[in-house]
Amino acid sequence: MSRRLPSLSPAATITACLLALAALGAQAAAPAGPRQLPVDTGTDRLIIKYRNGAGPSSLSVPALRTMRSAMAARVAANRHGVTMNALRQTAAGAQVFRLNRRMSLGEAEALAASLRSGDANIEYAEPDRLMHALATPNDPQYASQWHWSDTTGGVRAPAAWDVATGTGVTVAVIDTGVRPHPDLAANLLAGYDFITSASSANDGGGRDADGNDPGDAVAANFCGAGSGASNSSWHGTHVAGIIAAVGNNATGVAGLAYNAKILPLRVLGRCGGYTSDIADAITWAAGGSVSGVPTNTTPAKVLNLSLGGSGSCDTTTQTAINSARAAGSVVIVAAGNANTNASNTSPANCSGVITVASTGISGGRASYSNYGSVVTLAAPGGDSGNAILSTHNAGSTTPSTDNYAGLMGTSMATPVVAGIAALMLSTNDTLTPDQLSAMLVATVRSFPATCTQCGAGLVDAAAAVQAAHDAITPDPITVSEAESNDSLATAQAVASLPATVNGSIGSVGDADHYRISVPVNKTLSITLTGAAGTGPGLGVYSALGRKLVERAGTVGQSLSWTQANRGSTALTLYVRVLRSAGSTGNYTLTLGI
């Protein structure tokens, strides 16, 4: 059945979005999924393909030692501190080499680049990457959660789970409160009840520290003359389960960020909830201060608002959203379920929020979903018999048996995006709300079916999480100078950036050379600092050996240079350090990106 929670007045209240309730399917056992693996497990192998059969004809390294290619391979490997042993030949004629230690993919790619640049006979060289089975939770009803993995309308959750599962992230569910469902309880934090109206709260009082949902059922005319009767929705419990129902516990369903924590904030009761209460909850959720309410010791970086009402975005709500964003929290809201333009739905039309439309299993706009220019993107919310399965309760008025149910609405699509946001922050906790929003938009899939005015596209969990991971600024590696690196031809490769190179100029004529690969759209910063009494000089050269800059050193002063890569492929640069002023001695070469 479908239901709408009536409002007290358009100006004073916001009501929960429309829902449709579907029957609960039977549980079926599922095999345990593979363990989660980190993004970069590295490799201890390389694949090399030589041109026109010019490469080694034997897989025995001793037999290769008289060959130019074998010599070039040994020189490149020495620069990277590894040895290579031929292992086998592939069906395509490439050779697989085993390394004596495991390297990160970045290090292995740098070694491959060294091989390619040092031997014209190489057609390609690349890491022999390790692949892994995509993570699949062992929850029995996972197979019924089409929205996670359906190839057409799903969000590609299994690939995202190989990177992150939400660990370390708190998501505030600003809703009807949450039931301590056994498939959710382990991920629930102590929440708060922000409802100030005792009549609406239905728990015997006003605001308190109990975020549990006592039910929001009403009799006919309770919310005003002519208003209808309705059973309890358990709306917040369903929303919370989409985000963070416990995964891999061999029970029920799996939330998208199944290792994240839920902060349940109760703002919707019987007949809905007041704007002023919701605004206070938004502020408090992000760590702000609310008079008469204890300090929030578990602020949330993701705020889910599966609620809405008609009208423009009011100042009270916008101010609360602004404060949450200033605190570093992303605010994700439902577009609404009236099949109309969301420009007249609040808080969907507020500034700074991620507004979510709903799609069905076809990937097209759900029949009920709002649309329009204020919509940021779309996510699965269910339609046409394919509901979103999540945690629920069997009670028609007061709480009863915990169960699972399928609901449809932008209320369901919104926590899908909130769950993805949690995965992204679990991967990269430095993301700002604007950065996270931009990544979500930049990584969407094209709609597989018609979804006019549904925003940028269909949200893609795997692509969004990977973008968050790729934006991580890695810790600098430390590199020690390795001789012989006295010329461009014998330049020592720096495996990854940023890096700190510790070297030494040992004689007046000594010069050290380093080869660096600058990724597309990145800028390399170089700082050369000599030890006391030294003044080393700095040179930078292109891949073809063309001098880009050469600066003489001054004792006691550092030299710096930046070089941007605006091309479409990685930029190879050579950095030269030489004696220029003062005595010989140690230096530090800092390479940032």
In the chain, the percentage of residues whose pLDDT exceeds 90 is: 72
Rg (CA), the chain: 29
Residue predicted with more confidence, 120 or 234: 234
Q: Residue 41's pLDDT is what?
A: 57
Distance in angstroms (rounded) separating the CA atoms of residues 437 and 439:
5
What does the block give as tokens for 551? 């600066």
Stretch 531-538: mean pLDDT: 96
At 520, the pLDDT band (50, 70, 90 cuts) reads: confident
Tell me which fold the domain 43-127 belongs to: Alpha-Beta Plaits (3.30.70)
pLDDT band at 521 (very low <50, low <70, confident <90, very high): confident
More confident residue, 62 or 158: 158
pLDDT at 490 over 60: yes
- Mean pLDDT for 69-73 is 81
Contacts of 132 (CB under 8 A, 6+ apart): 34, 37, 41, 162
Record the tokens describing residue 89, joined without a space. 């030949």
Across all residues in the chain, what is the average pLDDT? Answer: 88
Mean pLDDT, range 443-463, rounded to an integer: 97
The predicted-structure confidence for 370-410, as pLDDT tens digits, reads as follows 999 999 999 999 998 899 999 999 999 999 999 999 999 99
Give the C-alpha distances (Å, rounded to integers) separating 308 from 20, 246, 367, 454: 16, 28, 18, 17
Structure-model confidence comparison of residues 187 and 94, the more confident one: 187
Three-state DSSP class for 463? helix
124-144 pLDDT tens trace: 898 887 765 567 789 999 999
Predicted pLDDT of residue 62: 39
Count the neighbouring beta carbons within 10 Å of the beta carbon of residue 306.
30
Q: Is the omega angle on the peptide bond into residue 484 within 30 degrees of 0, that is, cis?
A: yes
Going edge to edge, which strands form the sheet with 84-89? 84-89, 95-103, 43-50, 122-127
Distance CA 57, CA 53 (A): 8
Tens-digit pLDDT profile for residues 177-186 = 999 999 999 9
| Phi and psi, residue 530, nearest 5° | -95, 160
Residue 8 pLDDT > 60 = no
Nearest to 381 by CA among 363, 359, 403: 359
- Name the fold adopted by 13-30+135-218+228-470: Rossmann fold (3.40.50)
What are the Cα distances from residue 372, in Å, to 107, 251, 336, 454?
47, 39, 11, 7
pLDDT at 193 over 60: yes
* Secondary structure letter of residue 342 according to DSSP: G
pLDDT at 485 over 50: yes
Is the pLDDT score of 24 beyond 60?
A: no
Q: Which of 17-26, 150-159, 221-230 has the lowest mean pLDDT?
A: 17-26
pLDDT at 180: 98
pTM of the model: 0.75
Q: Domain segments of the chain: what residues?
A: 13-30+135-218+228-470, 43-127, 477-592
- In this model, does residue 317 exceed pLDDT 90? yes
Query: What CATH number was assigned to the domain covering residues 477-592?
Result: 2.60.120.380
Among the residue ranges 13-27, 197-211, 224-238, 309-323, the one predicted with the least confidence is 13-27
Distance CA 383, CA 386 (A): 5
Q: Comparing 45-54, 177-186, 373-382, 539-548, which segment has the lowest mean pLDDT? A: 45-54
pLDDT value at 26 more than 50: no
- pLDDT for 38 equals 38
Please determine, for residue 39, whether its predicted confidence score (pLDDT) is greater than 70. Answer: no
pLDDT band at 67 (very low <50, low <70, confident <90, very high): low
How high is the pLDDT of residue 278?
A: 96
CA–CA dist 541, 189 (Å, integer)? 56
Both tokens of 118, joined, read 């040092």
Q: Where in the sequence numbering do the catalytic residues fall?
A: 175, 235, 411
User: What does each C-alpha distance from 482 to 112, 455, 485, 505 come to in angstroms?
Assistant: 18, 53, 7, 12
| E strand spans, 32-142 | 43-50, 84-89, 95-103, 122-127
pLDDT at 72 over 90: no
Q: Which residue type occupies 239?
A: V
| Ranges 194-208, 354-368, 443-457: which has the least confidence | 194-208
For helices 461-470 and 410-427, what crossing angle results, to 10°?
30
Q: How far apart are CA 488 and CA 458, in angstroms?
A: 48
* Per-residue pLDDT at 2 exceeds 50: no
Amino acid present at 209: A
Q: What is the DSSP letter of 237?
A: H
Instruction: Specify the long-range contacts of residues 549-553, CB closer than 8 Å, at least 24 apart.
Output: 550/576, 552/580, 552/581, 553/528, 553/580, 553/581, 553/582
SS3 334: strand
